Amino acid sequence: MEKNKKQIVGIVTSSKMDKSITVIVERRLKHPIYGKFIRKSKKFMAHDEKNDCNEGDKVRIIESRPLSKRKRWSLVEIIERAK
C-alpha cells in the first residue's frame, strides 16, 4: 500500500454488480450550535477484483485511478464478515 493514498473504512451496502461494491462511510460530527452529534454518511463505489465481499461486511478501501464513471476506489481488505 502506498503512503499518500487515502484509506477509509465502511460497510458494504451492495455487492450485486460484477467486480464492484458500494460502500457507505458514516462519520459523527458535533452540531456547531446545539452540540448534538449528527451522523453523516457518504457512498463510494469500489473495485472488488475477486467478487469476495457480501452485504454487511466491514471493509477498508483505498484511492485508485478512475476505473469507470463513478468508481475511484479499490478494496484493500475485508476487516469483518457480516454475521
Mean pLDDT for the chain overall: 96
The tens digit of pLDDT for each residue in 3-37 reads 799 999 999 999 999 999 999 999 999 999 999 99
The CATH number of the domain holding residue 33 is 2.40.50.140
- pTM assigned to the model: 0.88
pLDDT at position 45 over 90 = yes
- Residue 27, Cα to own-chain centre: how many angstroms? 12
Residue 82 falls within a domain, yes or no? Answer: no
Task: Give me the number of domains the chain comprises.
Answer: 1
* Domain span holding position 71: 7-77
Residue 24 falls within a domain, yes or no? Answer: yes
Residues 34 and 78: their CA atoms lie apart, in Å, by 37
Residue 83 falls within a domain, yes or no? Answer: no
Taking residue 49's Cβ as centre, other Cβ atoms within 10 Å add up to 8
